[in-house]
Amino acid sequence: MGQSRIEWTEQSWTVVVGCEPVSAGCAKCYMASMAARLERMGVEKYSGLSELREGRAILTGTVRFWQPSLLDPLRQKKPARWFLSSMGDIGHATITDDELDQLFAVMSRGAQHEFYVLSKRVDRIARYLRGEARADTIKANALRLPGEPGSGFPWPLPNVLIGTSVENQVNADLRHAGMACLARGGWRTMVSYEPALGPVDWSGWEFLSWLISGGETDHMHRRARPHHPAWHLASRGWAESPPAFPTHSSSMATGHRWTPSRQSICRQGRRSSALMLLPVRPMPLSTFARGKKAIS
């Protein structure tokens, strides 16, 4: 468990760690170097997840369900926004349905929290959640967890948003069916259009609750790939009202406030700027009352 540096969330639930690249957006995944650093610090959870090749940390493809972290959200009474998982992808094939049952059971018991589940393998998540038997299995798992079970078991879980990352039109098209399936099943859905590597036409994505839009960020001396304000503007234009605020506060600190006219943020090698959009179907979240600043 740890405080997240990602602006749209507060806590990182790293119960699934490790991954392997699945699409273009993964090319500069920060996770390999982060895991390498944590392994050097002696954190067992991250051992063997990455290896050095030509001086650069590369993911080994090892994926781990770290049982000691399973109950982290239930140890915290104070409501928070939890990101699952900033150090892996719960949709990875090596994560079993039984393990997913445990994750969703914890999310059902952690009703005071909001959970943001992000996977580039969203088809698998959609397949896993399909069917009524899944709710029964998860409820049975939830009842076995320590502590007093709450009253009722709403399904789909109202405190969970399921999302995917989309970097360009090709992957938007590939991941649309899984997301639409989840939305039809009653789940609230989100897309992280970050890192944006090409324009995306969002027609047909009207079921989304959230669209987060942003560029790649320089990380560990790896230069961010360029993105264009027009892509974000088009996304914001597609969405309804645009209460938006920037992510990547470091960009803000250096004065790179994103505006449609600031083309310089798209130069190759510059730290990217980004913005978050909350437009599609405004959620009943207190999110934006928690010190986040809107830009117009």
Among 15, 16, 31, 57, binds ligand SF4 (CB under 6 A): 31
H or E segment at 125?
A: helix 122-129
Among 39, 89, 194, 216, binds ligand SF4 (CB under 6 A): 89
Nearer to ligand SF4, 91 or 246 (CB): 91
State how far the alpha carbon of 12 is from the alpha carbons of 3, 34, 85, 273, in Å.
6, 14, 7, 22
62 and 83 in contact (C-beta within 8 Å)?
Answer: no
Q: What is the dihedral of CA 185, 142, 67, 112, to 10 degrees?
A: 80
Asked if 162 is part of the footprint of ligand SF4 (rule: CB under 6 A), the reply reads: no
Q: How far apart are the C-alpha atoms of 82 and 176, rounded to whole Å?
A: 24
Q: How far is the CB of 27 from ligand SF4 (least distance, A)?
A: 9
Binding residues among 45-74 for ligand SF4 as defined by CB under 6 A? 59
Asked if 174 is part of the footprint of ligand SF4 (rule: CB under 6 A), the reply reads: no
190 strand-pairing partners: 163, 210
Among 15, 16, 17, 19, binds ligand SF4 (CB under 6 A): 19
Nearer to ligand SF4, 27 or 43 (CB): 27
Nearer to ligand SF4, 86 or 141 (CB): 86
Among 1, 22, 111, 135, binds ligand SF4 (CB under 6 A): 22
230 and 210 in contact (C-beta within 8 Å)?
Answer: no
In the shown chain, the binding pattern of residues 91 to 130 toward ligand SF4, with x for contact by CB under 6 A and - for none, equals: -----------------------------x----------
Nearer to ligand SF4, 136 or 173 (CB): 173
229 and 266 in contact (C-beta within 8 Å)?
Answer: yes
193 strand-pairing partners: 213
SS (H, E, C) 150-172: CCCCCCCCCCEEEEEECCCHHHH
What is the secondary structure of 28-45 as a DSSP string? T-THHHHHHHHHHTT-GG
Question: CB-side exposure of 158: number of CA atoms within 13 Å?
Answer: 8
Among 6, 17, 29, 71, binds ligand SF4 (CB under 6 A): 29
Q: How far is the CB of 91 from ligand SF4 (least distance, A)?
A: 8
Stretch of residues binding ligand SF4 (CB under 6 A), selected from 15-23, 101-109, 191-199, 262-270 = 15-23
Judged by CB under 6 A, how many residues of this single chain contact ligand SF4?
11
Chain residues in the site for ligand SF4 (CB under 6 A): 19, 21-22, 25-26, 29, 31, 59, 88-89, 120
